[in-house]
């Protein structure tokens, strides 16, 4: 019930106004800082020529973004196009083999990218969690899954496992950690589902079909095994009314988002600024805060939603601080913490927390709308 609790329209309007105003104000300061720092010596390595027709250089400090849209762009388009083409062909010729085609094609793509020994490593993790699922103990499956994830962060296990990748290329480490971690998460989902429903007798083949589904393999999104199995097991794929339009709309939004991020990197040097601590220290608190973001019923239920949003805002900033340590430097994280929590207290601290709270409430409103739409779709599909 909590996610479906509505707030007054006036309150949501206030949240939208506060968030928009705060982002505009902070964005202006960040834009000015990017313009002022464009010619600094510390920026030269990361601010390179970009779209000349807009007269702005581009922040290329995010090497992963640059690689995906330069040397790896054609590889991605080729691999995913092949996935769609062969899936369509298999659906027309041998629909019962469609799920096998997904697994074989995905495994070949992974082997071609990372090498056969890396594929063998992943198969080892799959078999290990599959064997654990046969014992029917959820705690064992979850514990083994967590241990497998930890093995990608602990030496000497991480060094040993990374040695299974053949060749050397710029995105090797990113693809290694992405593919390995998501493999463990998918295998854990399979194992827990198998323990929850022992009567369904899932096989190792079902796990491999799930894990090597190429569009999800390296970076998700994560679809739980029960949902994936239900969809891929359909001999004739069935789309809900309007789903094809929804797919096209999402594809269009993805293209718009990619363009927006690229434009953003031309005007806001959010990844390069943290590398120059002297310059970052001169930023106003609002711009610094924006920079870190690279880096029962009735009234009682409404109050419950407000309280959950407040804790959600604090949790959001806890995640941001963790990501700052991972993606930037410890010194920049210390600078942000000191400015936002100590020297800026209470004005800056409470202001940023309130703006974040407004954003969380708007996200929850979106989740509420989607939940209601999903409920309405399910009601329409129920037999009379």
**Three-state secondary structure along 205-263?**
HHHHHHHCCHHHHCCCCCCCHHHHHHHHCCCCCCCCCCHHHHHHHHHHHHHHHHHHHHH
- Give the pLDDT confidence score for residue 297 in this predicted structure: 42
Which is nearest to 230 in space by CA: 202, 251, 250?
Answer: 202
**Cα–Cα–Cα angle for 287, 288, 290, rounded to 5 degrees:** 65
Share of the chain above pLDDT 90, in %: 22
pLDDT at 384: 53
Question: Model confidence at 381, in pLDDT bands (50, 70, 90)?
Answer: low
Least confident of 221-230, 263-272, 301-310: 301-310
Return the pLDDT at 296. 43
CA–CA separation, 363 vs 127, rounded Å?
Answer: 39
pLDDT category, 139, cuts 50, 70, 90?
very high
Choose among 230, 301, 228, 206: nearest CA to 2: 301
Average pLDDT over residues 319-343: 82
Give the start-end residues of each E strand in the chain: 47-49, 57-59
Q: What is the pLDDT of residue 337?
A: 87
Give the angle 312-318-321 at the CA atoms, nearest 5°. 145
Which of these ranges, 83-92, 102-111, 191-200, has the smallest mean pLDDT?
Answer: 83-92
pLDDT tens sequence across 220-244? 777 889 888 888 777 666 666 777 7
CA nearest neighbour of 150 among 174, 371, 142: 142
What tens digit of pLDDT does each residue of 90-125 get? 777 777 787 888 888 899 989 988 889 999 999 999
Helix (H, G, I), strand (E, B) or coil at 295: coil
Please tell me the predicted confidence (pLDDT) of residue 51: 82
Residue 316 reports pLDDT greater than 60: yes
**Cβ neighbours around 116 below 10 Å, total:** 12
Q: What would the two tokens of residue 125 be?
A: 């993790």
Question: If residue 196 lies in a helix (H) or strand (E), which one and from where to where?
Answer: helix 172-196
Residue 189 and residue 157 in contact, taking contact as beta carbons nearer than 8 Å: no
CB 95 within 8 A of CB 89: no
Distance CA 302, CA 282 (A): 40
pLDDT of residue 237: 63
Q: In the predicted model, what is the mean pLDDT of residues 241-268?
A: 84
**Beta carbons within 10 angstroms of residue 334's beta carbon:** 13
pLDDT of residue 195: 93
């Amino acid at each position: 019930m909590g996610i479906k609790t509505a707030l007054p329209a006036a309150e949501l309007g206030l949240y939208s106004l506060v968030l928009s105003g705060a982002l505009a104000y902070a964005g202006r300061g960040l834009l000015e800082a990017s313009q002022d720092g464009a010619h600094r010596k510390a920026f030269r390595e990361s601010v390179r020529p970009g779209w000349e027709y807009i007269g702005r250089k581009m922040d290329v400090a995010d090497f992963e973004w640059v690689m995906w849209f330069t040397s790896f762009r054609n590889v991605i388009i080729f691999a995913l196009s092949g996935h769609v083409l062969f899936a369509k062909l298999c659906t027309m010729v041998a629909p019962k083999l469609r799920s096998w085609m997904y697994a074989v094609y995905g495994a070949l793509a992974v082997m071609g990218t990372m090498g056969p020994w890396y594929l063998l490593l992943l198969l080892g993790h799959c078999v290990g969690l599959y064997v654990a699922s046969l014992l029917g103990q959820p705690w064992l499956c979850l514990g083994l899954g967590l241990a497998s994830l930890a093995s990608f962060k602990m030496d000497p296990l991480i060094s040993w496992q990374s040695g299974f990748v053949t060749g050397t290329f710029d995105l090797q480490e990113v693809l290694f950690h992405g593919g390995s971690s998501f493999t463990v998460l998918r295998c854990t989902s399979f194992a827990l589902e198998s323990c929850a429903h022992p009567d369904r007798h899932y096989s190792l083949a079902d796990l491999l079909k799930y894990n090597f589904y190429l569009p999800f393999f390296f970076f998700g999104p994560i679809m739980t095994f029960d949902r994936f199995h239900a969809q891929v097991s359909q001999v004739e794929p069935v789309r809900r009314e309007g789903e094809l339009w929804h797919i096209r709309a999402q594809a269009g939004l993805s293209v718009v988002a990619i363009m927006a991020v690229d434009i953003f990197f031309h005007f806001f040097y959010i990844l390069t600024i943290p590398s120059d601590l002297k310059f970052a220290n001169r930023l106003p608190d609002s711009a610094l805060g924006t920079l870190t973001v690279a880096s029962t019923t009735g009234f009682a239920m409404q109050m419950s939603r407000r309280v959950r949003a407040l804790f959600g805002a604090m949790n959001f900033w806890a995640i941001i601080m963790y990501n700052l340590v991972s993606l930037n430097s410890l010194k920049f994280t210390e600078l942000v913490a000191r400015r936002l929590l100590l020297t800026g207290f209470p004005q800056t601290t409470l202001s940023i927390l309130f703006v974040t709270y407004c954003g969380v409430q708007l996200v929850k409103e979106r989740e509420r709308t989607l939940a209601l739409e999903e409920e309405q779709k399910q009601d329409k599909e129920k037999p009379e």
